[in-house]
Amino acid sequence: MGPIIIFLLLTLSLALQGSFLVLISPTGVHPDLVLVVVVALALLSDSKRGALVGLVAGLMQDIVFGAPLGFFAFIKVLVGAMAGFLAEEINRDFVLAPMLLVLFFSLFNDLMPFILKELINIPHSFSLLQYLQQFSPGRMLMHFFIMGLIYPYLCRAQKRRLLFRQAEGSGK
């Protein structure tokens, strides 16, 4: 049941991100809802499952938004693995910890496309500093509040073992 729920969460996130959230963002800054869901799910599991969720989410995002296949997948795998690695270190019932961590992962998520574009010589429409100043603060703030809204529900679902049976290698 868990993989189906996770797939539905990712599909709903993509649908909202690609339609509703784009339409209501007047300044062109809209949240990466898929990122927030990947971070939340990874923090509720472990690095292997976080990377797997990131891979699936990133591939779905690549397909839906027409990015080169693997572009978002690479970034989301890294985010999922890093967040999953931190899962053992945080108190899962303390909502502020995931809210603060999503700020770091949002910044990482904004930096990685510039690094990848630089590596494959794709021209940028903005300099890195301009992009980070114009888009990142608003997106980070949105991610902070969205995590505060969705994480408690996902945490309750995980306590009922609806998402993951148990973290690999632990008795939780």
| CATH dotted code for 2-159 | 1.10.1760
What is the C-alpha to C-alpha distance for residues 14 and 133, in angstroms, rounded to an integer?
A: 25
| Predicted TM-score (pTM) of this structure | 0.89
List pLDDT tens digits, range 86-102.
Answer: 999 999 889 999 999 99
List pLDDT tens digits, range 39-90.
Answer: 999 999 999 999 999 999 999 999 998 877 888 999 999 999 999 999 999 9
**Domain map (residue ranges) of the chain:** 2-159
